[in-house]
Structure 1
């Protein structure tokens, strides 16, 4: 196990960036261009990746440090993750990081895992945002303050995050299996760490860890999206180039997990409401050529509906659901299979059945079709991520942590070259019972043991240094994130049956196309008592048609690198499509077939109900599920047949088990239809050709049930404080709601938006409620507020939430209500208005750069006639607000005497 250098070796103080700004800044040296990823380096060892994409209106700065839980020593479990939290506090030069992030809006986060820690910021594209992000990351690389006073508050927040994970039996089971599978390597340790270590670590110990690993020679800086490349290089040279190369030399980790010499078994007994099983096999690092073959084998085994394990276990209802996972990591990895088991099943008998099926993995004769199907799905996912530049830049974090960003291309190339012989070989090599952790120890002789393969840094360099990649794709056109530009690129149309649609002309990387269609249907009378039928019906739409099997539908969508998803809520069927320009027509043909020819096989209904029921059983005593369900039930009084009624979890389970195939078919044939629908498509499509495709898909698809919009009733909230006990759960939830009448045309709406920003939802954890509960007192991992003002009616509400340790219930309740009381009594300040207004505006600009936001705006316009200009008009109204307007509106609508408060958790805990 690797340990930190002695503090005496790192006794030098932090180097202030400001003290070296006077030095001549450095011009980053160009290294290579791999498929549009331009690599540079600085003399201090910093690696830089630029990924320009003119089609974006946002940019992301993402810095990855090669340090994670793998680098932690004795007594330091969770240190890397705790340090990540601390780097959002303050720096010597710039000050309060969270405050600055809050003021600038956008999206920001930090994450820690086994091999790496990263920090990223997504902002609207501008030179100012680019410069600030680079300067800030350079400053907190070596100038973080790491104060003991901040740590005293933050450790309880991290502990609360730890406790949230402890509420999930499947997650805890996986951690126990992983820790049992690894004897020595730190991959056996959870990244979030030991609760005791988290609570006892001191700031000076964190500082030693920080000074060792947070240095330019241990980091990769990624800048992606729409930005000025020359200015980016200038800012990087200006702020990072002046940071000296550290004198210390990082030791290489050298612990290698020995070959497992027999099947292991772990049994976990603790509170929970569902049964789960897991199985782990030791595999290889991401750099190994076998990694791609193993990923493909995982798909071949678990895919719905074609997977061998899926058919043997889920279709036969021996388990309710299954999945597999292979982490993207630097050293020898593992493949994990997770199984959910219905409560009426004998878990020990199921364990034997599952183990028997796992034993067959080495004996199956895999086919060319198996390989083609898996390759299509994996390549689809690779392409989907690659063609979303912002997500791709963040996703690179894992690949960089695994050794080098180019390993991702080698992985893709390996997937494309896979044959059934590769699948057969890895199945026979790795999936042996003596390499598995799930059961008891079995002595045996002459085992063929699997020894993890070590990859040195030099080997990874040799693998990647001359890699050139595929030919560069053509650069996409610029698309300005503005309502004016949206309108200029929007083509509207109407089908013969009345469906309204909009085509947003925009080039997206890779020729990607995204679409969302919403189909309002029927009326309250015809939908009475059918809410659960509608949701299951939507889930089963892709399980087979008169002309295509479920397997054929899924295989073809994967081959087209496309996805189609359905959901049904209250009285609207929604369809979400992700595809590519050349595949759009065929994907819509498949969708058209699904909408008019679905057959809803009985075996699929049985499987889905089992899966849903098992999932719901796991939430029976989950504090978050209980709290968010009960806050609705306590503030609304609808009859059970109403589409607005909120069922208890047990009521949902009971209702699902009663659903019949005939009910699904009746709902499908008589309720669904597109004649009142709307849909928006974004991509580089020809509007006339698109109109023909849409007419062929939806033009004759009409509902037999008359459509009348259903509107909810208003129920005034009353003062109520109610506890729901969830025994032996480590985390708790607090919610408070006040209902009132307001629609988006109300003159009070803009003021309430800003009041909500200041009180609970604005900025980066800097609004009053989260600042008090998390930052000042450290009694909640997550806290905030939300405002719900609908479009078509005036039934509105405001709500706050907090995640907490059950023993902190009283403190959280007091703090939250005190902050609301202070706001009602004393109002907000001019400084708060100024700060949150800027953050709110920047957040809206960031969202406008998201394709789903554009789709949502156009669909709202088509369905409700709300002009696109309202997006800008609302901002104009908010900017014109005076402080007294905001203070007046919160006093008008909010009152603790009308607040319904729900608390869910194990409040009998003593500590």
Structure 2
């Protein structure tokens, strides 16, 4: 009763806070330091403020990080931090419905919870209005969230559904069980999503006590990044956050220290699933520890494809199909996790022993300078890639702040740069001992050298970071307006000697980054019949070796150049994406040219790739999502086997991959691949003449021997049907419905149909009708919505709705979804719905226009199909002029429940 009474007092005190704030004079944030472009300020109430300006962006992000996660949960509170994150998207006393406001404004918004922190962020097109609103909203929900019991009761099933989705992932569940065994006392052994029982039983007043304890300015950091007015940002922070008083409560520090593990542990997990996995955990260090960087680098040295020691002994020998590692960015002593996928034809217990035998060699292996150099290059490339994408950088900083201080990220980078093979040898010997490992039984042993975690106090973290200045500030990139007009003004196009069309978008990107996207359609439907499986595998083998370089040399050089090349083949088109830097563009494109003309496709790499793909596919054989989306396409299209448009079952795909021969790969490479019908776009601060020369050198003589004819899909009218697929013992289910119709993007009905889909299922931040009914009102689906596929070159269009659900809610979801569709068809939408969804749709498009991938997609579409850039704005004008009757009439014209094909996948035998 005492706690309930106290909670009531705190709740009442919040009601009057806004009037108190209005009487206080806004505070000007105090400048602290500037570390490599990250400008730190603080308020008297303890709030930390980080500004990361980048004028080359057209978007901005406001990201608030609270130093509270599953590490801070007590008995009966497992999952409370995550549940509270969901509740803060409900409503506040002053502003009202947060989710609706986010929906109306468009852009991107989310919240996440992890071991040491919770964060909320909004990415919007840059404007003073969006900046002010984001800061005001985050300040309001810091102290004025309503946290109503009625909202909490609706959210229980949503969070439970999210929990169940995770339960369908064998590798994820295995990792969770291993961690819970590896940790005796520390909360890092608990899943962040929490205990289903705790989640479902917690009361709103209990959740409020947790909220009022941790959601305070002295426990938070606000990050503002991208393009924004710095003075106004500081003004708004002072205006809205500065008036919140410093809380009188003192946060108790967590003090649980995990004892040294005193014997190897084993876990055997038996449950429904279609894949075999082995996982291994070693206790390691906190992010602040000097050993952390060395352990990260050692993880790369052990698992990297193709140079890793474990990769060579386990994957190349085909004992396993793949191996990966990860080490979380955490405040206290953490862990390193190795995940191994095992082909279904292997004995998983024999593989487990093979893995343990190879792990036993880690501490005694003699590592080389080349090992260290290779790992450093790869990690530094990743660090630079994140840093030079300011929006992602600001969001990614969440983890580092949760680990103790944002400057720890710079110290980590510095530590990586200074690594030596002696550092690698030291951590290998210190941490990679069998008595510090969990794969599974207690084994008595004498004279063990045990690994004891090192504790770091807050005072030590302050001492590590307080005087850190960082490297010299980088040159700021020039502003680039997110508009079609500006895109056209900075766009230059050309044509290579063999017909390849290309475009250069002149734009400075932070760090001198350069992005490129190429599309190479090849051959014709007849010549491609029965060959697309081989083409898909070929794309994955293009970096496995050439006549001049081994796979290892190729990957090493790309890492040293902080660059990446990605290939994908689908139906008729080879897609290539390149990420590099201005000074490395020429060399990276030369590497790409070598891959396209001199690849050798080693037999052992083909075998490994097929094994890896099929292991993944085997894990999907009874996955509701994979099964449902495959089946809905099979039900609504009736192409013959061999057609490039045919959708095989998952088992058919596995069987097809097993039959692929190296000779098929080589034949496709020599006789079908070629660039003479391709297009490509490059974004960066590059010289037009030298770019043309580089592209000519790369693609100008790369031609296909097969005649090119664009393949067009056939229209198949959908029929009313409902199909259930039972996936035994799966905790989650999927519902899909699809309607096909004839429409292309030039159709005068297209603008109205775009908005009809927005209002019905796709628009806003979960505010369209289908997600509002299924998730917000009834809480029977974790995620629901709709999407459209309206092509450019033909009229084979479709509309699809989806919902993820608990299998026991199938009937309720089916009824609710069909009722919402029927209601829309019968009564139509309102003018207010159309207006609000147009605003969020418009803002979302403006946000996307500030993304380099969108610019390249627009350029490639123009180059390939002749679609002018102005069509982007023209569509917006047409949509803006729409009347609600036009939208309603178009919806009725193309959608009908009598033509909807439905597929449901899940364990519907559950009670």
Question: If the TM-score is normalised by the length of the shorter chain, which range does it land in?
Answer: over 0.9
Give yes or no for the alignment of 1:821 onto 2:804.
Answer: no
CA change 1:5–1:502 in 2 (3 A) is farther
Return closer, same or farther for 1:774/1:908 CA change in 2, 3 Å cut-off.
Answer: same
Residues 567 and 576 in structure 2, CA contact (< 8 A), matched pair in contact too: yes
Match of 2:240 in 1: 239
8 Å Cα contact 2:185/2:256 also seen in 1? yes
Deviations 1:798-843 (Å, cap 9, x if unpaired)? 0000000000000000000000000000000011011000000000
**Does 2:425 align with 1:424?**
yes
Range that drifts further, 17-26 or 691-700:
17-26
Q: Which runs of 5+ in 2 are unaligned?
A: none
For 1:159, the equivalent position in structure 2 comes to 160
SS at match of 1:12: helix
Q: Deviations over 1:105-139 (max 9, x none)?
A: 00000000000000000000000000000000000
Confirm whether residue 104 of structure 1 aligns to residue 105 of structure 2: yes
Contact 1:21 1:239 in 2 (8 A): no
User: After the TM superposition, which residues 397-546 of structure 1 pair with which residues of structure 2 at under 5 Å, given as runs?
Assistant: 397-546=398-547
Cα offset, 1:311, TM superposition: 0.0
Number of positions where the alignment pairs a residue of Structure 1 with one of Structure 2: 907
Structure 2 CA distance, aligned partners of 1:765 and 1:249?
Answer: 37
Residue 626 (structure 1) aligned with residue 624 (structure 2)? no
Q: Deviations over 1:580-614 (max 9, x none)?
A: 00000000000000000000000000001111111
Cα distance per residue 1:367-418 (max 9 Å; x no partner) = 0000000000000000000000000000000000000000000000000000
1:12 aligned onto 2:13? no
Match of 1:751 in 2: 752
Answer whether contact 2:325 2:336 (CA < 8 A) is retained: yes
Partner of 1:385: 386
Q: 1:407 to 1:5 in 2, by over 3 A?
A: farther
Q: Distance in 1 between matches of 2:119 and 2:7?
A: 26
Question: Partners in 2 of 1:256 and 1:6 — Cα distance?
Answer: 31
Q: Distance in 1 between matches of 2:653 and 2:619?
A: 13
Q: Where does residue 847 of structure 1 map in the other structure?
A: 848
Residue-by-residue CA offset, 1:438-459 (whole Å, 9 max, x unaligned) = 1322110110000000010000
1:604-619 correspondence runs (5 A): 604-619=605-620
Distance between the aligned counterparts of 1:235 and 1:458, measured in 2? Answer: 31
Correspondences of 1:648-667 after superposition (within 5 Å): 648-667=649-668
CA deviation vs aligned residue, 1:137-195 (integer Å, no higher than 9, x gap): 00000000000000010010000000000001110000000000000000000000011
| Cα-to-partner distance string for 1:219-267 (whole Å, 9 max, x where unaligned) | 0000000000000000000000000000000000000000000000010
- The CA deviation at 1:12 is 2.5
Aligned to 1:136: 137
1:20 positional shift? 1.1
Q: Could you tell me how far apart the structure 2 residues matched to 1:272 and 1:426 are?
A: 36
Q: Residue by residue, what CA displacement relative to the aligned partner does 1:64-108 show, whole Å, maximum 9, x if unpaired?
A: 000000011111110000000000000000000010000000000
Deviates more, 1:523-532 or 1:773-782: 523-532
Residues 1:119 and 2:120 aligned together: yes
Given that residues 104 and 838 in structure 1 are in contact (C-alpha distance below 8 angstroms), is that contact kept between their aligned partners in structure 2?
Answer: yes
Distance in 2, Cα, partners of 1:74 & 1:347: 36
The reply on whether 1:351 has 2:349 as its aligned counterpart is no
SS in structure 1 of the partner of residue 23 of structure 2? coil
Could you report, residue by residue, the CA deviation over 1:1-44 in whole angstroms, capped at 9, with x for unpaired residues?
A: xxx99984894335333531221000000000000000000000
8 A contact 2:7–2:208 mirrored in 1: no
* Whole-angstrom distance in 1 between the partners of 2:507 and 2:457: 44
Superposition map of 1:61-100 within 5 A: 61-100=62-101
Change (3 A) 1:866 1:258: same
In structure 2, the CA distance between the partners of 1:313 and 1:283, relative to structure 1 (3 Å rule), is same
- Paired with 1:433 and 1:72, the residues of 2 have a C-alpha distance of 30
Per-residue deviation, residues 869-893 of structure 1 (Å, max 9, x unmatched): 0000000000010110000000000
Query: Quick one: structure 1 residues 702 and 429, their matched pair in 2 at CA, closer, same or farther if it must change by over 3 Å?
Result: same
Check the 8 A contact 1:10/1:212 in 2, yes or no: no
Structure-2 separation of matches of 1:776 and 1:786: 21
Q: How far 1:574 moved relative to its partner?
A: 0.3
Q: What does residue 731 of structure 2 align with? A: 730
Describe the superposition over 1:413-470 as per-residue Cα deviations: whole angstroms up to 9, x where unpaired.
0000000000000000000000000132211011000000001000000000000000
Q: Which residue of 2 aligns with 1:878?
A: 879
Aligned to 1:592: 593
Query: Residue 397 of structure 2 corresponds to which residue in structure 1?
Result: 396
**Residue 479 of structure 1: SS of its match in structure 2?**
coil
Secondary structure of the structure 1 residue equivalent to 2:266 = coil
Which residue in 2 is equivalent to 1:275?
Answer: 276
C-alpha distance in 2 between matches for 1:234 and 1:5: 38
Matches within 5 A, 1:11-50: 11-13=9-11, 14-15=13-14, 16-50=17-51
Contact residue 751 and residue 886 of structure 1 kept, 8 A? yes
Q: Aligned partners of 2:231, 2:546: CA distance in 1, in Å?
A: 54
Q: Give me the whole-angstrom Cα distance separating, in 1, the residues matched to 2:842 and 2:354.
A: 56
What residue number does 2:189 align with? 188
Alignment of 1:867-906 (within 5 A): 867-906=868-907
Residues 240-389 of structure 1 aligned to structure 2 (within 5 Å): 240-389=241-390
1:774 and 1:781 in contact (8 A); partners too: yes
CA contact (8 A) 2:528 2:644 kept: yes
Contact 1:17 1:242 in 2 (8 A): no
- Is the 1:719–1:896 contact (alpha carbons within 8 Å) kept by the matching residues of 2? yes
What do you get for the CA RMSD once the two structures are aligned? 1.0
Distance across 2 between alignment mates of 1:763 and 1:632: 26
**Cα pair distance change 1:530/1:18, threshold 3 Å:** farther
Q: Deviations over 1:733-753 (max 9, x none)?
A: 000000000000000000000
Find the residue that maps to 2:377 and give its secondary structure. helix
Structure 1 CA distance for aligned equivalents of residues 654 and 364 of structure 2: 38
Q: Would you say the 8 A contact 1:263–1:440 is kept in 2?
A: yes
Distance 2:807 2:788 in 1: 26
Q: Is the CA contact 2:4–2:205 (under 8 Å) kept in the aligned structure 1?
A: no
Question: What is the CA deviation profile of residues 676-696 of structure 1, one whole-angstrom value per residue up to 9, with x for unaligned ones?
Answer: 000000000001000000000
Identify if the C-alpha distance between structure 1 residues 112 and 7 changes in structure 2 by more than 3 Å, giving closer, same or farther. Answer: farther
Which consecutive unaligned segments of at least 5 residues does structure 1 have? none
**Structure 1 residue matching 2:94: 3-state secondary structure:** coil
Q: What's the secondary structure of 1:311's corresponding residue?
A: helix
Q: 1:220 aligns to what SS in structure 2? A: strand
Q: Name the residue aligned to 1:812.
A: 813
CA–CA separation in structure 2 for the residues paired with 1:142 and 1:576: 45
Q: How many angstroms apart in 2 are the aligned matches of 1:177 and 1:220?
A: 33
- Whether the aligned pair in 2 keeps the contact of 1:362 and 1:431 (CA below 8 Å) is yes
- Residues 537-616 of structure 1 correspond to what in structure 2 (within 5 A)? 537-616=538-617
Q: When the two structures are superposed, what TM-score results if normalisation uses the length of structure 1?
A: 0.99
Q: Name the CA distance, whole Å, in 2 between partners of 1:41 and 1:558.
A: 38
Partner of 1:222: 223
**Contact 2:771–2:785 at 8 Å: present in 1 too?**
yes
Counterpart Cα distance in 2 of 1:672 and 1:22: 71
* 8 A contact 2:7–2:209 mirrored in 1: no
Q: Distance in 2 between matches of 1:566 and 1:891?
A: 41
- Contact 2:7/2:205 (8 A) holds in 1: no
Distance 1:7 1:270, change over 3 A: farther
Q: Secondary structure at 2:362's aligned position in 1?
A: helix
3-state SS in 1 of match to 2:119: strand
1:173 match: 174
Partners of 1:59 and 1:125 within 8 A in 2: yes
Shift of 1:641: 1.0
Q: Which runs of 4+ in 1 moved over 6 A?
A: 4-7
Equivalent position SS for 2:142:
helix
- Cα pair 1:7 1:208 within 8 Å, conserved: no
Report SS of the residue matched to 1:625.
helix
